[in-house]
Amino acid sequence: MWGLSAVCVRRIFLQEPGVLVLGQRQEQAKLRRRVYRTLRIPESVVARVRQRLANGRH
């Protein structure tokens, strides 16, 4: 949709307020090499981030 890689999108939205992160806690993930997480991003958060990025603020 934005022409960005999935990794870049995850990085943008991971710490964003309002995003629900589903997956293992950090302590449990240390036993594995990779952390598996699912991000639930509401439309309102997408609109807010898109507006912020369009204005040139990071």
For each of the chain's 58 residues, which pLDDT tens digit applies? 788 999 999 999 999 999 999 986 666 556 667 778 899 999 999 999 999 999 886 6
User: Is 40 contained in some domain?
Assistant: yes
Question: Domain range holding 30?
Answer: 6-54
Domain count, the chain: 1
How would you classify the pairing of strands 20-23 and 37-40? antiparallel
pLDDT at 43: 96
Q: What is the rounded distance in angstroms from the CA atom of residue 16 to the CA atom of residue 2?
A: 17
In the prediction, which pLDDT does 57 show? 67
Q: What is the pLDDT of residue 45?
A: 97
The answer to whether residue 1 is domain-embedded is no
- Mapped onto helix, strand or coil, the DSSP state of residue 29 is helix
pTM: 0.72
Instruction: Look at residue 42 and tell me if it is in a domain.
Output: yes
pLDDT score at 52: 92
